A and B are shown apart, each in its own frame.
Chain A
Amino acid sequence: MENSLENQTSTLNGTDNNMETTINWLAACRVEDAVENGGVCVKHGEEQIALFYFTRRNEWYATQNECPHRKQMALSRGMIGSSTDEPKVACPFHKKTFSLSTGECLSGDECAIKTYPVKVEDGTVFIGLSA
């Protein structure tokens, strides 16, 4: 399963019909390997990606695993939750919070984190990486 990539062209639903991009889908893990209402860390070469299974909302999110505040590989071990309706993760080190949908830092800092699309097919969870 590790590092298996699936190439596929997908059209993002935007107003601009020319927005066409190739996404490489990384098969990250089986659904049952993910942590309910929490995160796991996915290895992709040298990269680390945090994958969150927000069971309560039946939503999946993926972000960079590194917290930009102190450069710690830790976000996958953070608590997730919501602020009004915005899904978020709190870094276990200093509780900086980031939006899971936009990557924006919700603790008033400049730094944002990278986010990735996620899809589930036949019990396998895929993380979308731009080609």
Chain B
Amino acid sequence: MKKQQIIVIGNGMVGYKFCEKLKSKTSSFNLIVFGEEPRRAYDRVHLSEYFNGKTAEDLSLSTESWYDEQEITLYLNTPVTAINRTEKKVYTPNGLSYDYDFLVFATGSAAFVPHIEGIEKEGVFVYRTIEDLDLISNYAQKAQTAAVIGGGLLGLEAAKALIDLGITETSIIEFASRLMPRQIDPAGSDMLKSKLTDLGLKILLNKNTSLIEGEESITALKFSDDSHLAVDMLVISAGIKPRDELAKACGLEVGPRGGIVVNEKMLTNDPSVFAIGECALYDGMIYGLIAPGYEMAEVVATHLAENGNKTFNGFDMSTKLKLIGVDVASFGDNFINEPDCRTIVFEDKHKGIYKRINISNDGKYLLGGILIGDAAAYNMLLQTATNNIPLPEHPEELILGSRGGAEGSASGGLENLPDSALICSCEGITKGGICSAVTDQDCENIDQIKKCTKAGTGCGGCIPMVKDLMLYTMKAQGKYVRNVICEHFNYSRQELYDLVHIHEIKSYDEVLDSLGKGDGCEVCKPLVSSILASLWNEMILQKGNDTAQDSNDRFLANIQKGGSYSVVPRIPGGEITPEKLIVIGEVAQKYGLYTKITGGQRIDLFGAHLSDLPKIWEELINAGFESGHAYGKALRTVKSCVGSTWCRFGLQDSVSFAIEVEERYRGIRAPHKIKSAVSGCIRECAEAQSKDFGIIATEKGWNLYVCGNGGSKPQHALLLATDLDSATCIRYIDRFLMFYIRTADPLTRTATWLNKMDGGIDYLRNVVVNDSLGMAAKWEAEMEGLVAAYQCEWKTAIENPAIRKRFSHFVNAPEEKDPTIQFVDMRGQKRTEEWKTV
């Protein structure tokens, strides 16, 4: 019998999820998918992360081969142009037609664009697809100011994207009298507004845009109250409009304000045609969230695969999200008012926190609520409301925390949840499902849980709770997992760091004797050496620590293919005199070195024999150079643009500050290399936002960004503090670096360190700026100690005969060079030979 054929129109998140769910249930259908966009379905919920360094591929929901493996035919760049429901055919632009037995609309929605005069002007965008983001990002390069029309969820996301793109002057324009009118009440909106204003956003409420001004491209907005706002670009995010035009054209029933009308089985008025996701209108409502969309996909997949009678009965629209670093959540019946309920409200204008819970008049049940500024309790509150868990005697403790001095329940009430409590609403995973993944399938981290159960793979909002549940279950089983270093040390890096600190141990052998066992290895040796260097900043080749150093640190140079080394003198801030440039040239000539400018505004000299290294450094040091630590997990370079001393745009003297910063932190060793940069204005020529810590000049001082990196997984640095004077900026960097050095896992860059940090940048800001751990003074003192202990280790090395002796290839022929090192000519210089075998 010929397989029945299903055609899915739309390859968005819900369309993809339908395919996945159907294929997991049955293979008895042919499945054809038409997608209008040029790429496979991607995660639109986390679209703004595209500006935070995620690539389109990172956001993709499936691998390229997934559709083939599942035997699904996917046509991208192929909108369906017409449908003949009598003949059950769909048509594509190239004139082909395809037969269907069942048709599924997953066409989603488009941005709703209001009729405003001038809307066609250049510089006006919508925020919906990756292509939109590319257009916005290109245009933002020449824009200084921007506005977003729409103060809802998507509008705030768009505003965040503009900030991420470096447009610091961004306004949000909302027609209603409050932000996020569907989710939060006026008091919550006031709190959110003041938090966003603190972050530099301008919020304009009760504003009706009447005209977009400008010749060809936008220059200003005019409002119905005759006020103006000058802007270079505009993003419209005023809501969504279901993509129902195709359905309408083929005679399916659509709602008066859009949306394909469906019943509880997601069936349209044609029994062969379904609609799911944001294009579907159920019970007069469009569901613009991912979880209900996935639920609709499940309903149709079950119906087709098993002839099941699963139905869609509306959906809880609770949401929690982090908008520009501010938690916002609403759950259950968020707007219900007295006398239908009693409300408990907590407001802290100092910290910017607003919490409201609505409880039943008898005080027994939680009905709903709103959280701004701190939504840590969201998952628990949502569970309490949806599972009708009886409220404790003092329900205010749900939002205030217990203040009785007694220890609260360590598991945060997880044990009270029924096994049927829905934890991941996107994927429909219950508490029982997550616990059994831990107990029966030995999942011990979030990635394993995600793989095993799919929990947390949708919007990701449940991940903290999934993690808590996982830890709670592991603990109940008596499991305790630690990240120990290797067979020689039964400690994590942080534990070992603290122990070495407390016991004031200064050599690798002593650390191994007193804290480890066995003879060490290539894992713990460099790690302990790095800790010793971070703590005491002593010359790394003394006290027998030389053989505990990693390859490059051992000879204070970078080993290259063939066994020769490269030499990088420090050139702070990239500033160098002609005289010094000449010295570098002369040294390179004398020792036959290949020279290249590095990415960090320094000069790298390649092809030095081991025995030449001390001679080369002797000449460089005599000319006033010092080690550049290019070989160490240490501060590398502080790149700079020329700044206000020459540049007509420059706001501050970025070169002088870069030199100050580089000379302060030079030689300080850390879990991984550290790079920095200082830019003299927002044009950011020094690329400070791609550095572990980056500094950008403002009119008033410096903005400090942290935890960025280039490399294989580039990540933009995040704004830590704004408009700092130089001394404060240095203080914050001191604290930031010491916190990183003390707590990061081995070989972890600051970006990854932050990604793993609970609470993320907000937590980090609290620690560094607000000194929430009370460590600031200690860390500043420790940093002062390291700065004071600085020495050029190459100077020490060449002046110490015992160390210098080690820079020879043959112990029994110290003057001879390794004859196996061979070079070949290339463009007037030399290069090393290729690997001899592969």
**B800 CB–A CB distance under 8 Å:** no
Distance in Å: Cβ of B248 to nearest Cβ of chain A? 62
Given contacts A70-B835, A84-B487, contact A77 B551 (CB under 8 A): yes
**Chain B positions 801 through 818: 1 when the CB is less than 8 Å from some CB of chain A, otherwise 0:** 000001001111100101
**B585 CB–A CB distance under 8 Å:** no
In the complex, identify which listed stretch (B91-99, B460-468, B520-528, B655-663) lies at the interface while the others stay far away: B520-528
Interface residues on A, range: 35 or more
Chain B interface residues toward A at CB < 8 A: 487-488, 509, 518-522, 524-526, 544, 546-548, 550-551, 554-555, 559, 561-563, 806, 809-813, 816, 818, 820-821, 835-837
Distance in Å: Cβ of A77 to nearest Cβ of chain B? 7
CA distance A28 to B589 in the complex (A): 35
**A118 CB–B CB distance under 8 Å:** no
Given contacts A43-B816, A56-B519, A82-B520, contact A28 B562 (CB under 8 A): no
**A95 CB–B CB distance under 8 Å:** yes
Given contacts A43-B816, A73-B820, A79-B525, contact A92 B551 (CB under 8 A): yes
A70's partner among B487, B811, B816, B837 (CB-CB below 8 A) is: B837
A42's partner among B518, B547, B548, B811 (CB-CB below 8 A) is: B811
CA distance A101 to B533 in the complex (A): 32
Asked whether A1 lies within 8 Å of B812 as measured between CB atoms, the reply is yes
7 CB-based A-B contacts, threshold 8 Å? A41-B809, A43-B812, A56-B519, A74-B559, A77-B551, A81-B518, A93-B551
A93 CB contacts on chain B under 8 angstroms: 551, 559
A82's partner among B519, B559, B835 (CB-CB below 8 A) is: B519
**Chain A positions 28 through 46: 1 when the CB is less than 8 Å from some CB of chain B, otherwise 0:** 1100011111101111000
B554 CB contacts on chain A under 8 angstroms: 77, 92
Q: Given contact pairs A43-B812, A71-B835, A83-B487, enumerate 8 new A-B contacts (beta carbons under 8 Å).
A: A1-B812, A29-B812, A42-B810, A79-B525, A92-B551, A92-B554, A95-B522, A97-B522
**A105 CB–B CB distance under 8 Å:** no
Asked whether A77 lies within 8 Å of B555 as measured between CB atoms, the reply is yes
Asked whether B521 lies within 8 Å of A79 as measured between CB atoms, the reply is yes
A84 CB contacts on chain B under 8 angstroms: 487, 518
Given contacts A37-B547, A71-B837, A92-B559, contact A42 B812 (CB under 8 A): yes
Given contacts A2-B813, A70-B835, A83-B487, contact A88 B521 (CB under 8 A): yes
B810 CB contacts on chain A under 8 angstroms: 41-43, 48
**Chain A positions 49 through 77: 1 when the CB is less than 8 Å from some CB of chain B, otherwise 0:** 00100101100000000000011111001
B551 CB contacts on chain A under 8 angstroms: 77-79, 92-93
Q: Which residue of A lies closest to B812 (CB)?
A: A2
Asked whether A41 lies within 8 Å of B811 as measured between CB atoms, the reply is yes
Distance in Å: Cβ of A91 to nearest Cβ of chain B? 9
**A87 CB–B CB distance under 8 Å:** yes
Q: Which residue of B lies closest to A33 (CB)?
A: B811
Q: Which residue of B lies closest to A125 (CB)?
A: B811
CA distance A85 to B548 in the complex (A): 18
Asked whether A35 lies within 8 Å of B806 as measured between CB atoms, the reply is yes
Distance in Å: Cβ of B389 to nearest Cβ of chain A? 52
A79's partner among B548, B559, B813 (CB-CB below 8 A) is: B548
Distance in Å: Cβ of A47 to nearest Cβ of chain B? 11
Query: Which A residues from 91 to 122 make CB contacts under 8 A with B?
Result: 92-93, 95, 97
CA distance A73 to B818 in the complex (A): 8
A33 CB contacts on chain B under 8 angstroms: 811
A88 CB contacts on chain B under 8 angstroms: 521
